[in-house]
A and B are shown apart, each in its own frame.
Chain A
Amino acid sequence: MPRISIVIPTHRGASRIGPTLAALASQTLPHGDFEVIVVLDGPDPATRQVIAAAQPPFTITVVEQDHAGAAQARNRGAAAARSPLLLFLDDDMSAVPGLLSAHLRSHERHPDGVVLGCFTQPRAGHRVDLLADGADAWWADHFAQLALPSHRFSFRDFCTGNVSLPRERFVDAGGFSTEFKQAAGEDYELGIRLLRLGVRFRFALDALSVHRYAASWAKSLERAREEGRGHVIIARLHPEVFPALSLRDAVEDGPVLKGDRPLRLTPLRLAAAPALLHAPLRMARALKLRRQWQKLQGASRVCAYWEGACQQAGSWSALQSLVQDMPLVPIAHHEIEFDLATGFDQLTPALTAAAVDAIRLRYGPQPIGRIAPQAGAESLRTAHVRHALLGRLAPRFLAARAPLDRGRHAQREHTLVESTALGSAG
């Protein structure tokens, strides 16, 4: 039996699937240890031909469905999988040779979690491409965040391009929602349900793939529109994550682009914005005016996002009334108070006893600070608390403990931050 099943949904992907399969053929993992399931979203003889011609050395299953979107395709693929682990890979992802072993290694070390892979976007030549530059910077920053041990994973970290999880967890959570037709966000939505089940997310830097993706302005705008639609669906399904969505701006008077004057989003303005901004954008792009271009493209993406959101809700006023009774601040379902004077090693048992969303830290009678709940984020771990104590709460923490400890353990040498004590209890 294979150890991992790779699910690749594709929609008219004849030109993309070839290199993806070729990259999988050169994996360090023995070919017998994995299987590949390609789900054709809509009848697609051309892609079938490419797959047949490739003659991959591993087991490959081709599943076909009527065109129903990637979410449905991934669910089909997962249903056809035979191994206990699922890896969702996009049809434009070239796995580096160690990708599959890296995923497997991470699952062996920490079973029963989600492993988020990493990807890079290669660039041809030395041309300055502002759009691709922006996307690269965003992803690099995103992965750098995920790689921090103190990162608090949230549903927004769950992307389907290169991610693996036990099939059982996928089934428990109920698979991808098929409600997202013209919308993006079924990955976020599954992320919310997985986190709610208490599934741990981990990031594997070595589970690397290469994203062969050509950024285009039209695609970027369409993506923003799809996100707007998707966020409305997510807000309806899971109001508790609403504080983490950009839709929050609709509660007042729409997004604020500059200063504190809100951008009033009349339908006319929304419709006119991309057209009006298009010419200056092209000019800024041609002249390589990076700052101006970024501002303009930010504004157009914001407009596209809200256009999508309004489409999904029906109208701007429908959207506004939809968000009026959403929660505006993250809800702490379980908030605990912890006295650091009892010892940092007591923290881990306190955090593992139940899922904790927020924690109030004190040192004896002295309050140190609070780690606030975060909408749609994983429950607190020791690493999060340690990071806060060594970072933003450090001055208060040190001030609180200095006078107490000096008297009590005068003979013991104390370093300022007791990195040994803090470090051992992880």
Chain B
Amino acid sequence: MRTFIGTYDIADPAPTLWGAEGYGRLLVLVKEHGWPLGVLRLRHDPARTTVEGADLQLALMNQLGLGSGTAAPPPPTGGSEPTVPLPISVVVCTRDRPRSLRGCLASLRQLDYPAHEVVVVDNASRTAETADVVAETRFRYVREDRPGLDWARNCGLRAARHDIIAYIDDDARADPLWLQGLARGFAAEHVMGVTGLILPAELETDAQHQFEIYGNDGMSKGFRARRWIPGQLPPLSLIQVHQVGVGANMAFRRKILEQIGGFDTALDVGTPSCGAGDLDILHRVLLAGGEIRYEPHALVWHRHRRDQAGLERQLYSNGRAYGVFLLKRWHEHRISRRQIAGFVTRIWIPWLLGRLALSVMGRHRLPPRLIWAELWGATHAPWAYFATYRHDRRLRRRFGVPNADETAASGPN
């Protein structure tokens, strides 16, 4: 099964989607004047090479409730557009994935935004290919020798020149209006972080489809803008920060990152924690009183893992990283431990077990193996938590960085 991914602008008078031959399904992003409105999911006859306007408009009406042209919602480009564009630094952290990186950088070259720079952080790559790929562009190259995504993110923060730092993954592609979307989120002075919409860049393999099923819509958080205002939040949403955003598409103001001491270098890919750097930073920004907005107009296309083994590893890491994140909160003791324990025992574990039970009974679209992977990862969290901070201390000793340098690292000692 393959799904063709296309884009359709409702401002286009005679829309035709080309290139869907050989695909059984379509995922069509509906835009209006470049801004995303929603997605359509359609079945497709693989023998046909085109999808025509009439089919698209029918689906538009049925799935998004939008009439053709006449009943279109007001264009999102209101008066909220900032008059002077906020300068943004884009930080791409990468490790030994030169071909993916090349695709990502190609998309960043197409960015439609007046004031921005791109910093590529090479996180301890073993080959020189990454540097070569960056040299093909005019983007800035910085090397971070300490392995770990959060080391790279901090390094990007230091190297960035502007006051807003936008992070994108090396296996993602930015939409040309990505930064404009982020800038809309930052229009209000007190907004400290903005996360954005993530859609699949390709759905060619079963594993990629399963990842879309796994998170309801993969990494997508929907097409409605949302805001998380500290003080008005129930404690639970400080724990469930995975609803706020994903590391593949998030941006922060420099002052909040500096205030809270940057990313926790013990976390995320490249360390025993296997992730959670993004959850941790979103949580700490909210805890420090910074408002975070979700801005669906800031669109990034993410290429999910293609192979089953990779997907299984990914889900295992998700479970493990979430556990590490919760253990860190428990250890920090800044939110009530009862809340955390309640979340784990009443929400998280029952949810995982419930899905597993459904899957074993054949009532879930994911095979038990994949759901088990996440649960199995979660059971490794306590070990991973200690291992990751031990790893971090050793790394700091080896590179001569004092532990107090980044206050974020407040693990068990």
Interface of A toward B, CB cutoff 8 Å: 239, 251-253, 320, 324-326, 328-329, 358, 360, 362, 365, 367, 369-370, 372
Contact = CB atoms under 8 A, between A and B. Distances in A.
Nearest to B22: A372
B212 interface: no
A360 B49 CA distance: 9
Contacts, number: 54
Contacts of B76: none
A329 B303 CA distance: 14
B359 interface: no
Among A324, A358, A365, A372, which residue has the most Cβ atoms of chain B within 10 A?
A324
Contact of B97 (A251, A325, A358, A370): A325
A372 B21 contact: yes
Among B14, B50, B100, B309, which residue has the most Cβ atoms of chain A within 10 A?
B50
Nearest to A254: B307
Contacts of B206: 252
Given A360-B18, A367-B16, A370-B49, A251 B99 contact: no
A367 B19 CA distance: 12
B289 interface: no
Contact of B307 (A251, A326, A360, A370): A251
B68 to A, nearest CB: 16
Contacts of A253: 307-309
Contact of A325 (B99, B205, B207): B99
Contacts of B150: none
Nearest to A253: B308
Given A320-B307, A325-B99, A370 B171 contact: no
B202 interface: yes
A226 B38 CA distance: 49
Nearest to A367: B50
Contacts of A326: 99
A328 B204 contact: yes
Contacts of A320: 307, 309
Contact of B19 (A252, A325, A362, A370): A370
Contacts of B50: 360, 367, 369-370
Contact of B202 (A239, A328, A362): A328
A353 B20 CA distance: 26
Interface residues of B, number: 26
Given A325-B97, A325-B171, A370 B18 contact: yes
Given A325-B100, A325-B171, A365-B14, A251 B306 contact: yes
A123 to B, nearest CB: 39
Nearest to A320: B307
A390 to B, nearest CB: 16
A367 B52 contact: yes
7 contacts: A239-B99, A325-B99, A326-B99, A362-B16, A367-B18, A370-B49, A370-B50
Interface string B222-244: 00000000000000000000000
Given A252-B207, A370-B21, A372-B21, 7 more contacts: A324-B305, A324-B307, A325-B97, A328-B306, A360-B50, A367-B52, A372-B19
Interface in B161-217: 171, 202, 204-207
Contacts of B16: 362, 367
Interface string B300-323: 000101111110000000000000
Nearest to A371: B49
Contacts of B308: 252-253
Nearest to B17: A367
B49 A369 contact: yes
B235 to A, nearest CB: 40
Given A325-B171, A365-B14, A372-B19, A252 B205 contact: yes
B306 A252 contact: yes
Contact of A329 (B204, B306, B310): B204
A362 B207 CA distance: 36
Among B202, B207, B307, B310, which residue has the most Cβ atoms of chain A within 10 A?
B307
Contacts of A252: 205-207, 306-308
A239 B22 CA distance: 21
A367 B49 CA distance: 9
Nearest to A388: B49
A362 B308 CA distance: 40
A360 B50 CA distance: 9
A68 B248 CA distance: 48
A327 to B, nearest CB: 9
A65 B303 CA distance: 48
B335 to A, nearest CB: 38
Among B14, B99, B171, which residue has the most Cβ atoms of chain A within 10 A?
B99
User: Closest 7 interchain pairs by CB?
Assistant: A370-B49, A369-B49, A325-B99, A367-B50, A325-B100, A328-B204, A251-B306
